[in-house]
Chains A and B, each alone.
Chain A
Amino acid sequence: MAELFWWVIFPYITLTIMIVGLLYRYAFRQLTWAAPSTEFFEKKWLRIGSPLFHYGIIFAFFGHVMGMLIPIEFYQALGISDHAYHFGAIYGGGLVGLMVVAGLIILLIRKITIDPVRIKASFADFFTVLAVLFVAATGTYMTIIYNTTVIEYEYRLTIGPWFRSLFLLQPDYVLMQSVPMIFKVHVISAFALFAAIPFTKLIHIFSIPVKYPTRPPQQYRSRSNYRRQGL
C-alpha cells in the first residue's frame, strides 16, 4: 500500500498541484511572477554562486533527460556499453552535482550573512534553497559516492521506466520496489519540490525567455489593440 502511495499517488498529486498551481498563477497572479534577484543588494558572491548553481542545474536537467527519459535500449542501439555510460554519468553528473551543491551553499551563506539579503528574504526563500539543496545533495551523493562505493546502480532499468510510465498514465510501481533507499529519497523529495514550484520563486524556471533572440528589438504596443488581441 505504501508503495502504491509513494510511486503512484504521490507523484500524481504533486504534479497536479504543480500544473494547476502554475496555471492559476499564470492566469491570476502574474504580477508576482518573477525571478527575484538580490543582485541589487550584493554582487560579489552572487557572481560566483548564481552562475555556478544555475548552469549546474541546467546541465543536471539534461543529465536527467539522458538517464530518465531516454530508454536504455537507445544507448544499446548506439553501442554505448553500460560501463561507458556510467563512467560518463558519474564524472559528468558528479561535476554538475558538485557545481549545484557548491553554488547553493555559497548562495545560502550569502543569504544568511549579507544583511539586506537576509532581512528581505522570506521563509519561502530559505525553504526553497534548503529544499533544492537537499534534493541536489542526495543526487550528488548517489552519483559520486553511492555509485563508486556501493554499487553502480542501473537506474535505467528501474527508475527510468517507472518515471516514463507515469507519463503514459500506466504507472508501474513494482519497478520501484527494489530501488535503493537513497534513490527513493531523492525521487520523493524531488516530487515534493515540484509541488512547491508554483508557490515559491522556483516559478521562474518556467519563464525562460526563449523568444528573445527571435523577436524584433523594438516593441510597439497599441493601447487600443491591447485588449483586442487579448495579449
Chain B
Amino acid sequence: MRIKAQVAMVMHLDKCIGCHTCSVTCKNTWTNRPGTEYMWFNNVETRPGPGYPKRWEDTDRYKGGWELRGGKLKLRAGGPISKLANIFYNPNMAEMEDFYEPWTYEYDNLIHRPKGDNLPVARPKSQITGKYIDKPEWGSNWDDDLAGGSEVVPLDPNVEKMQEHIKMEYEKTFMMYLPRICEHCLNPSCVASCPTGALYKRDEDGIVLVDHDACRGWRFCQNGCPYHKVYYNWNTHKAEKCNFCYPRTEAGLPTICSETCVGRIRYIGVVLYDADKVKEAASVEDPQDLYEAQLSCFLDPFDEEVQAKAKEAGITDAWLEAAQESPVYKMAMKWKIALPLHPEYRTMPMVWYVPPLSPIMNHITNEDDLDTDGYIPAVDQMRIPVEYLASILAADDKEVVRKVLLKLSAMRVYMRGKTVGGIDEFKQSELVKQANTSPEEIEEMARLLGVAKYDERYVIPTGRREMDDDLHYKQGTCSLEDLAPPEGVNPTFGYLKAREKNYESG
C-alpha cells in the first residue's frame, strides 16, 4: 500500500447556471498573457455540443488517454518509441482552427477616431497576427446555450453515437452545462506523454503541474490529454495547464473558479488513495468497470489501519482530518452521487460530476397523488437522456447514472415532503429504500448540496510546509530571501539552478 493524498473537486451540475464566472476569473488570474489567449484552464461547455476545443472527445482523431492493447495499458497515441519517431511532427495535435483565432476589438477607435459622418466601430482584430478579422467564426463559447442549434449540436461525439436521434425541436430539446478544468488524474496520460518528463504529479496533493524549466515544447501532452486541458503556448513554446490554483490551495483557499462560483456548484476536498492500485484499476478489461475500479483505489479515512499507514507515508494529522471531512469523499465515494468524466479514457480523473436532474418529459401533473413507482420511470423520461449522461459520465453504463438520478430524485421527494408535506410518508420511505439511501443520508446530502456552506464545500488543508527543509532559515526571512542563499549553503551552480526551478508553474 502506497498512500497518497489527492486534492479533488466535485461539481454539482444541477446548480450550474452557465454564467462563465469561473472561466473569466480563471482567465484573469492565469491566462491573460500573449500566447495564452486561447487557453481556458476552466471553460463551461453547453452540452450537447462540440465542446472546446472542437470535438475534444473525438479520441480517434486526437488519440488522447489510454487504451488496452493486448491486455496492457498503453497510450492511445503511441508509446515512447513512436513518439520519438513523430517528434518532428505530431500528427494528432490540434491546431489553432480547432480552438479559435483569439481576437480583441479596436476599442481605441471608439474614442480617438476623428469626427466623421458614421458612428465609429470597434473592429475585431486578431491577437495572433494583428490583422482585422472581418468575420469571427468560432470562439471558446460560440455554441453557448445551443447557439448554432441543429448545425452545431450533431458535432458532439456523444450525440453521434447515440442510437436515438436527438430532437432539436424547441419543446423537446435539452441542454446542460459542463464546466471543465484539468482533471488532475490519478493516472495522467499527459504526464506519460511528456518526452522530457516536465509534467509531474505532486506527491503532496496530486496536482499535475508543468515544470517550465524542463518543458521543451514537444507538444505530445496537448493531445495526450483526452480532456484537452494542456495547452501549448505559442509565445513561450511551453505547455501550460490548470494548476488547481496551487498557490491558493496551499494556503487553504479554494481555487479561483470555485471561490467565484455563483451557483456554489464546486466542492473541494482531500481523498486518500492507494497509488499501487491505480495501474491495475486503470487496466480492467471492460470500460464500464472502470468506475468501480477507480472507487476501489480510494481509502477510508476513518479506518485506523489506513490512518496509521498514512502517517507513515508522511500525511499529517491536518490532512487526515480534512480527508475525513472531505465533501469529495462524501459525494463521490460514500454516497456515490458524483461520477468521473469519461472514465473510459482510463486516466482516473479526479474532478467528479453530480449529474443534473432535468425536467421530466411527460410533465408530472399530479405529484401529490403520484406513488413511488411513478418516480422511477420518470428518471428515464427526463429531458436530458440518460443515454447522453451515461456517455459523458459512465462509459455508456446507463445503470450507473440511473442510480444517481434516482437517489437525487428521492432526496428531492423526501425533502419536499418534509417541508411542503402532502406526500404520503410510507410512499416516501419506499422511494428512499428503492434509491438505496436513508433519511439520515438524505438529510446530510441535502445540507451539502442545498445549503452548501462555504466551509463545508471547501475543506482544504494548507500545504505541508512543515515538511520543507529550510524552515529554520525561512523563519523570519523577508521576501528578499531569494536574493540570498540559505544559511550554510554556498551560492553554487546547483543552488542557483534549484532556485530557478523553484518557480514551478503550471
A81 CA / B306 CA spacing, docked (Å): 72
Is B200 at the interface (CB under 8 A from chain A)? yes
Closest to B189 in A: A217
> Which of the candidate stretches B91-99, B161-169, B328-336, B367-375 sits at the interface with the other chain?
B91-99
Are A209 and B201 in contact, CB atoms less than 8 angstroms apart? no
Is B398 at the interface (CB under 8 A from chain A)? no
Q: Which residues of B contact A28 (CB under 8 A)?
A: 496, 500
Q: How many chain-B residues does the 8 Å CB contact rule pick out?
A: 65
A212 CA / B504 CA spacing, docked (Å): 21
Are B500 and A213 in contact, CB atoms less than 8 angstroms apart? no
Q: Which residues of B contact A220 (CB under 8 A)?
A: 4, 200-203, 275
Are A34 and B216 in contact, CB atoms less than 8 angstroms apart? yes
Is B355 at the interface (CB under 8 A from chain A)? no
Contact of B497 among A27, A40, A51 (CB under 8 A): A27
Are A116 and B128 in contact, CB atoms less than 8 angstroms apart? yes
A144 CA / B339 CA spacing, docked (Å): 64
Are B128 and A221 in contact, CB atoms less than 8 angstroms apart? no
Q: Which residues of B contact A228 (CB under 8 A)?
A: 469
Closest to B214 in A: A30
Contact of A226 among B96, B218, B502 (CB under 8 A): B502
Q: Which residues of B contact A27 (CB under 8 A)?
A: 493, 496-497
Q: Which residues of A contact B202 (CB under 8 A)?
A: 220-223
Contact of A224 among B131, B467, B494 (CB under 8 A): B467
Q: Which residues of B contact A34 (CB under 8 A)?
A: 215-217, 236-238
Q: Which residues of B contact A213 (CB under 8 A)?
A: 79-81, 84
Is B213 at the interface (CB under 8 A from chain A)? yes
Q: Which residues of A contact B184 (CB under 8 A)?
A: none
A44 CA / B188 CA spacing, docked (Å): 29
A231 CA / B196 CA spacing, docked (Å): 13
Q: Which residues of A contact B84 (CB under 8 A)?
A: 209, 212-213
Are A41 and B95 in contact, CB atoms less than 8 angstroms apart? yes
Are B80 and A30 in contact, CB atoms less than 8 angstroms apart? no
Is A33 at the interface (CB under 8 A from chain B)? yes
Are A50 and B469 in contact, CB atoms less than 8 angstroms apart? no
A220 CA / B192 CA spacing, docked (Å): 11
Q: Which residues of A contact B148 (CB under 8 A)?
A: none
What's the count of A-B pairs with C-beta under 8 Å? 152
Provided the pairs A47-B89, A47-B91, A227-B498 are in contact, do residues A40 and B203 lie with their beta carbons within 8 angstroms? Answer: no
Q: Mark B350-387, 1 if CB is under 8 A from A, else 0.
A: 00000000000000000000000000000000000000
Provided the pairs A207-B216, A223-B202, A224-B464 are in contact, do residues A212 and B83 lie with their beta carbons within 8 angstroms? Answer: yes
Provided the pairs A212-B196, A217-B191, A227-B498 are in contact, do residues A42 and B95 lie with their beta carbons within 8 angstroms? Answer: yes
A147 CA / B217 CA spacing, docked (Å): 40
Is A55 at the interface (CB under 8 A from chain B)? yes
Contact of A31 among B93, B194, B203, B213 (CB under 8 A): B213
Is A64 at the interface (CB under 8 A from chain B)? no
Is B88 at the interface (CB under 8 A from chain A)? yes
Q: Which residues of B contact A47 (CB under 8 A)?
A: 89, 91
Q: Which residues of B contact A115 (CB under 8 A)?
A: 129, 131
Q: Which residues of A contact B216 (CB under 8 A)?
A: 33-35, 204, 207, 209
Contact of B232 among A40, A53, A207, A222 (CB under 8 A): A40
A75 CA / B345 CA spacing, docked (Å): 53
Q: Mark B219-244, 1 if CB is under 8 A from A, else 0.
A: 10000000000001011111000000
A226 CA / B213 CA spacing, docked (Å): 13
Contact of B89 among A39, A40, A217, A223 (CB under 8 A): A39
Are B200 and A39 in contact, CB atoms less than 8 angstroms apart? no
110-160 of chain B: CB within 8 A of chain A: 128-131
Q: Which residues of B contact A119 (CB under 8 A)?
A: 128-130
Q: Mark B197-212, 1 if CB is under 8 A from A, else 0.
A: 1011111100000011
Q: Which residues of A contact B192 (CB under 8 A)?
A: 217-218
Are B197 and A40 in contact, CB atoms less than 8 angstroms apart? no
Closest to B187 in A: A218
Contact of A116 among B129, B195, B236, B494 (CB under 8 A): B129
115-170 of chain A: CB within 8 A of chain B: 115-116, 119-120
Is A178 at the interface (CB under 8 A from chain B)? no
Is A88 at the interface (CB under 8 A from chain B)? no
Are B204 and A223 in contact, CB atoms less than 8 angstroms apart? yes
A37 CA / B195 CA spacing, docked (Å): 15
Q: Which residues of A contact B203 (CB under 8 A)?
A: 220-223, 225
A130 CA / B188 CA spacing, docked (Å): 40
Most buried by B among A51, A223, A226: A223
Is B90 at the interface (CB under 8 A from chain A)? yes
Are B95 and A39 in contact, CB atoms less than 8 angstroms apart? yes
Q: Which residues of B contact A215 (CB under 8 A)?
A: 197
**How far is the CB of B410 from the nearest CB of chain A, in Å?**
39
Provided the pairs A42-B95, A43-B95, A225-B203 are in contact, do residues A211 and B238 lie with their beta carbons within 8 angstroms? Answer: no
Is B468 at the interface (CB under 8 A from chain A)? yes
A219 CA / B207 CA spacing, docked (Å): 12
Q: Mark A195-222, 1 if CB is under 8 A from B, else 0.
A: 0000000001001010111010111111
Q: Which residues of A contact B498 (CB under 8 A)?
A: 226-227, 230-231
A33 CA / B217 CA spacing, docked (Å): 9
A213 CA / B43 CA spacing, docked (Å): 34
Provided the pairs A40-B95, A119-B129, A222-B203 are in contact, do residues A209 and B464 lie with their beta carbons within 8 angstroms? Answer: no
Are A231 and B89 in contact, CB atoms less than 8 angstroms apart? no
Provided the pairs A115-B129, A116-B96 are in contact, do residues A35 and B502 lie with their beta carbons within 8 angstroms? Answer: no
Closest to A204 in B: B216
Q: Which residues of A contact B213 (CB under 8 A)?
A: 30-31, 33
In the complex, besides A28-B496, A30-B213, A119-B130, 18 extra interface pairs with C-beta distance below 8 angstroms are A30-B500, A35-B237, A37-B232, A39-B89, A41-B96, A47-B91, A51-B88, A120-B128, A204-B216, A209-B195, A213-B84, A218-B201, A220-B200, A223-B463, A225-B203, A227-B469, A228-B469, A230-B498
Smallest CB-CB A-B distances: 5 pairs: A209-B195, A217-B192, A222-B203, A34-B217, A34-B237
Give residues in A with beta carbon < 8 Å to B: 27-28, 30-43, 46-47, 50-51, 53-55, 115-116, 119-120, 204, 207, 209, 211-213, 215, 217-228, 230-231
23 CB < 8 A contacts A-B: A30-B500, A31-B212, A31-B238, A37-B217, A37-B232, A37-B237, A38-B234, A39-B93, A40-B96, A204-B216, A207-B196, A207-B216, A209-B87, A209-B196, A212-B83, A212-B84, A213-B80, A219-B191, A221-B200, A223-B467, A227-B469, A230-B498, A231-B498
